[in-house]
Amino acid sequence: MSEPASISTGIAARYATALFDLAEDDGALAALEADVGTLETALAESADLRDLITSPIYGRDVSMAAVGKLAEAMDLSPVTGNTLRLMAQKRRLFVLPAMLASLRARIADHKGEVTADVVSAKALTKAQSDKLSKVLKAATGHEVNLNATVDESLIGGLVVKVGSTMIDTSIKAKLNALQNTMKEVG
């Protein structure tokens, strides 16, 4: 990991830890989880918000006012709104996406859940997702949230990543392995 990326990750983790601890002390983890979802959706849908948090053009006062109004408009909890204002004041809004990811992981860990990243050649049906969740729950001993994406280049099968464990049952991987085996023979 490059040094600037690790610094950003460290900053995001510190803000996430502080925000999580404050919400936990207030008994407001459900509200924090809702705020995280709201902010993730807003970041995904708003180019203006992404520009606000990454552009050095906006000064502290403008950023603080903008995130303050945004927090009110989104009906975020006071602790989340205050954290965003503090981040704007300290010119740390650029770590917001990493902070949200860290918060999502902390909340899931607190609830005894793990997230599995699943890549498939076609979108999984509800029945397939439920069955995969049950299998992964049996294997991990935790509730599993699926983060499913589609990559048609896999041809078929799945690539499942839970924590540091990855299982690749895709046809693409099998074809690559067969190709490597054939290179060794010839």
Residues 95-135 pLDDT 10s: 999 999 999 989 998 999 998 999 999 999 999 999 999 99
Note the pLDDT tens digit of each residue in 25-79: 999 999 999 999 999 999 999 999 999 999 999 999 999 999 999 999 999 999 9
Report which of 85, 91, 151 is spatially closest to residue 117, judged by C-alpha positions: 151
Q: Above 70 in pLDDT, residue 2?
A: no
Total length of the chain: 186
- Please give the CATH topology (third level) of the domain spanning 3-109: Peroxidase; domain 1 (1.10.520)
Q: Above 50 in pLDDT, residue 1?
A: no
3-class DSSP state for residue 59? coil
Report which of 15, 13, 14, 17 is spatially closest to residue 25, judged by C-alpha positions: 17
Which ranges in the chain are annotated with CATH 1.10.520.20? 3-109
Residue 128: predicted pLDDT: 95
Residue 186: predicted pLDDT: 64
Q: Above 70 in pLDDT, residue 162?
A: yes
Q: Element (H or E) spanning 143, and its range?
A: strand 143-150
Tokens of 97: 């996406």
End-to-end CA distance of the chain: 38
Which residues is 105 bridged to in the sheet?
none
List of residues 6+ apart from 13 with CB closer than 8 A = 98, 99, 102
3-class DSSP state for residue 123? coil
